[in-house]
Amino acid sequence: MSATPAAVRMDVTVSDVTIPVPGQEQVRAWLVTGDDAGRPRSAVLWLHWLGHLHNDRSEFLPLAVELAPRGVVSLLPAGHFPWVPDPDGTGDDVARVRAQVDAHAATLDFLLDQPDLDPIRVALVGHDYGGMYAALLAERDERVTALALQACDAAWADWFATYWLRLGGAALVDYAARFAGLDPVEHVGRLGGRVLFQWAGKDTFVSEATRAAYAAANPRARSLLYDDAEHQLGDRAAVDLVGFLAEQLGLDP
C-alpha cells in the first residue's frame, strides 16, 4: 500500500492510496480523514455507480468530505467490473463478480486498519453496481454494521444481459443460472433494520418489481422513494443518506 496526500480542505485530508489485492491488480482509492486523531472514529466504505456523471470513485467524495469533520473515516475505491472489462456472457462474468467482491473486501480491510476506529460503527454505501457489490460484502463481513443501497438491480444477469449481451429466452435463463447464490437481493437480510434502500421514481433502469423484491428480502429495512428523481438520485437522497449514517454511526452534530 502507498499513500500520497492529494488535497487538504479545512480540517479534511484526501489521500490517494493504492491497496494490494491478492491475485489481482491493486486498487486505487481515496482515503478521507478529518483532524480528529486520538478519538474514536467511525468508518464508511463508498462504492460508486456506473453512470454518465462521476462514473468513478469521485461520486461520493463530496459526502465523504462533508462527514470527515464529524468523525468519519471514508474510503472510496475504484470499481473494476463492469467499469473496465465488459461482460462477455460466459462463466468468466461470475468469476469477475467474485473477484470484485474480493477486491472490495481488501479495501474494507484497509479502511478498518486505520487508527482509532470504533469497530461497531462501520457502514457500507453503494449506488447502482456499487450497491450490488455492497450487498454481497455486507453479508459476507460481519464487521459492517449499517448498509445503504441506492438504485441497484436485484440480479447480475439483468443489466448484463440487457445492456451488453442482448440475451433473452432460454439463453437468459441459462446465463442467470450461472450466478446462483450471488444475486444481491438474496444478501440484504443480515442487518435487518440497519439497512436503507433509496429508489428513484423515474428510474428507467430499476423497476417497481425490483424495489418490491428488495422489500420482501428485508422487510425491516427502511425504504425511501423519490418520486421525481431519476436513476442518479439527487440532493434529497444525499441529505437522507447523511441522516441515516449519522443515526447509525452516532455521529457528532
Over the stretch 170-201, which tens digit does the pLDDT of each residue have? 999 999 999 999 999 999 999 999 999 999 99
CB 48 within 8 A of CB 55: yes
**151, pLDDT greater than 80:** yes
CA dist., res. 166 & res. 182, Å (int): 21
- The pLDDT score that the predictor gives to residue 45 is 99
Q: How far apart, in whole angstroms, are the C-alpha atoms of residue 67 and residue 86?
A: 34
Residue 114 banded pLDDT, cuts 50, 70, 90: very high
Whole-prediction pTM value? 0.95
pLDDT tens digit sequence for 35-51: 876 678 999 999 999 99
Written as one letter, the residue type at 210 is: T
For the purposes of burial, counting CB atoms within 10 Å of the CB of 142, is it exposed (0-12), middle (13-18) or buried (19 or more)? Answer: exposed
> Can you tell me the distance from the alpha carbon of 153 to that of 62, in angstroms, rounded to the nearest whole number?
24
